[in-house]
């Protein structure tokens, strides 16, 4: 997941540099008043999102498989803990009724 996040951040930074260059060279329009920095960041986000969606598809799928496996392991551990608690509770009740 960290690898996917870093790759996505890299694509955003690359887009930010390109958009910043385009805005300051006059190719892309400038923001209104003092909003130019915000305009550059928003435009870079808008451009990097579809690029990340297409370029990082395999990495995103790989990360989602890892997350799903981790969730399945946690569910299995919870079920195992519940069954151990149920067994201990049943044993304690049986011993309490026997005395």
In angstroms, rounded to a whole number, what is the distance separating the alpha carbons of residues 2 and 95? 50
Q: How many domains does the chain fold into? A: 1
Domain that holds residue 73: 1-26+54-97
Residue in this structure with the two tokens 């955003």, named with its chain if needed: 12
Question: Which pLDDT score is estimated for 93?
Answer: 73
- Domain membership of residue 61 (yes or no) is yes
- Domain membership of residue 65 (yes or no) is yes
- Domain membership of residue 20 (yes or no) is yes
The predicted-structure confidence for 2-31, as pLDDT tens digits, reads as follows 888 999 999 999 999 999 998 888 887 777
Q: Record the tokens describing residue 49, joined without a space.
A: 């999102």
How sure is the predictor about 78, in pLDDT bands with cuts at 50, 70 and 90? confident
Give this prediction's pTM: 0.65
- Domain membership of residue 49 (yes or no) is no
Residue in this structure with the two tokens 């044993």, named with its chain if needed: 91
Question: Which pLDDT score is estimated for 11?
Answer: 96
- Domain membership of residue 85 (yes or no) is yes
- Domain membership of residue 31 (yes or no) is no
- Domain membership of residue 18 (yes or no) is yes
How sure is the predictor about 55, in pLDDT bands with cuts at 50, 70 and 90? very high
Most confident of 32-41, 46-55, 60-69, 88-97: 46-55
Of residues 85 and 82, more confidence is placed in 82
3 state SS for 37-85: HHHHHHHHHHHHHHHHHHHCHHHHHHHHHHHHHHHHHHHHHHHHHHHHH
């Amino acid at each position: 997941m960290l690898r996917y996040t870093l790759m996505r951040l890299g694509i955003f930074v690359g887009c930010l540099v390109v958009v910043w260059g385009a805005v300051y060279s006059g190719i892309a329009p400038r923001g209104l008043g003092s909003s130019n920095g915000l305009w550059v960041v928003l435009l870079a986000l808008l451009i990097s999102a579809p690029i990340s969606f297409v370029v990082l598809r395999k990495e995103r799928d790989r990360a989602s498989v890892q997350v799903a496996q981790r969730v399945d392991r946690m569910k299995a551990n919870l079920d195992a803990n519940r069954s151990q608690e149920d067994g201990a509770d049943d044993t304690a009740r049986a011993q309490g009724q026997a005395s």
